[in-house]
Amino acid sequence: MTPENETDGPDRIAAYITACSEALETQSQAARGWPNPLVLPEPEDAEENEALGLFLAELRQATGVEVKFRFRNKPH
């Protein structure tokens, strides 16, 4: 049995991508446009790091540009 706040594999990847998508939506609304840079939650492990790569690749594909981002309280 895992603790309530922990997920495994695909669920963890999906949860991180969802957190990034929510951050993008919230920051886009606040900026009334594209946030520059986009501030994302820092990955906590290899699965979340993989999810970050997937999220950024999808944004690149959708926008046609490299997305400038940083982690909360930590430049990237």
Q: What is the mean pLDDT of the chain?
A: 88
Give 38's contacts (C-beta < 8 A, 6+ positions apart): 23, 24, 27, 67, 68, 69, 70
DSSP category for residue 74: B
Q: Which two tokens mark 27? A: 């920051």
pLDDT number for residue 2: 43
CA 35, CA 21: separation in Å to the nearest integer? Answer: 13
The larger pLDDT score, comparing residue 75 to residue 10, is at 10
pTM above 0.85, yes or no: no
pLDDT digit string, tens, across residues 20-47: 999 999 999 999 999 999 999 999 999 9
- Largest distance between two CA atoms of the chain: 43
Mean pLDDT on 46-53: 96
* Coil/strand/helix, residue 21: helix
